[in-house]
């Protein structure tokens, strides 16, 4: 599903990634481990096509991510990402989770069912009308997870999703990630 070949990433004179090579099979989970500043977030940003490598190539499902912008956009639509610090819009939980589906043109009963299912999976049923920014850190991270999985991504990238959470929220998020891997058969790369 993912092939990373001789990937290098520089910012000015600073080399962040040097000769990274690995494969991740469809449905597999890969943990990327390293100290702060080792390039884990940079690697995930490259895999999500938010940045381009200085050199080397990334393939998603056999497609070269350095291809045309149309191909890159098609690939990006197959990927979900959750950042270390939860990113939520100043809107209801429902609207946060539904966002990716709406920009893909989905609506009606299908959208409602998918949002409900995603909220059920992250244990946030009943939160639909609450403002996402008023939630606790753990709840906001679960909203971000729901927003990522509702689009049914083939690849889910997780950048230290429990790093800023209390122990109870951390345990909850880690349990959810295990459930996502098991039940959705999504390819997961997690820092």
180 SS3 class? helix
Dihedral sign, Cα of residue 145, residue 151, residue 154, residue 157: negative
Between these two residues, 68 and 24, which has the higher pLDDT value?
Answer: 24
Tens of pLDDT, residues 141-189: 899 999 999 999 999 999 988 887 788 888 887 888 888 888 888 899 9
Tens of pLDDT, residues 56-109: 999 999 999 998 899 999 999 999 999 988 889 999 999 999 999 999 999 999
Tokens of 75: 């690939």
Decide: residue 139, CB within 10 A, 0-12 exposed, 13-18 middle, 19+ buried.
Answer: buried
Quickly count: other Cβ atoms within 10 Å of residue 155's Cβ: 21
- Dist. CA 110–CA 65, nearest whole Å: 30
Q: Which residue has the tokens 């893909």?
A: 104
Contact (Cβ atoms closer than 8 angstroms) between residue 24 and residue 2? yes
Which helix (H) or strand (E) segment is 149 a member of? helix 137-149
pLDDT band at 129; cut points 50, 70, 90: very high
Of how many residues is the chain composed? 191
Q: pTM score, two decimals?
A: 0.91
């Amino acid at each position: 599903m993912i092939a990373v070949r001789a990937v290098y990433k520089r910012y000015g004179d600073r080399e962040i990634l040097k000769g990274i090579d690995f494969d991740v099979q469809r449905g597999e989970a890969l943990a990327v481990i390293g100290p702060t500043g080792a390039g884990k977030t940079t690697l995930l940003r490259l895999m999500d096509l938010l940045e381009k490598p200085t050199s080397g190539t990334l393939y998603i499902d056999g497609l070269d991510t350095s291809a045309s912008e149309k191909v890159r956009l098609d690939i990006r639509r197959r990927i979900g990402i959750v950042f270390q610090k939860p990113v939520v819009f100043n809107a209801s939980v429902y609207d946060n989770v539904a966002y990716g589906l709406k920009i893909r043109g989905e609506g009606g009963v299908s959208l409602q069912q998918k949002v409900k299912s995603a909220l059920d999976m992250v244990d946030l049923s009943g939160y639909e009308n609450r403002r996402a920014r008023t939630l606790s850190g753990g709840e906001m991270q679960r909203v971000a997870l729901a927003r990522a999985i509702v689009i049914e991504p083939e690849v889910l990238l997780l950048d230290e999703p429990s790093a800023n959470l209390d122990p109870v929220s951390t345990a909850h998020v880690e349990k959810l990630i295990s459930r996502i891997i098991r039940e959705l058969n999504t390819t997961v790369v997690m820092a």
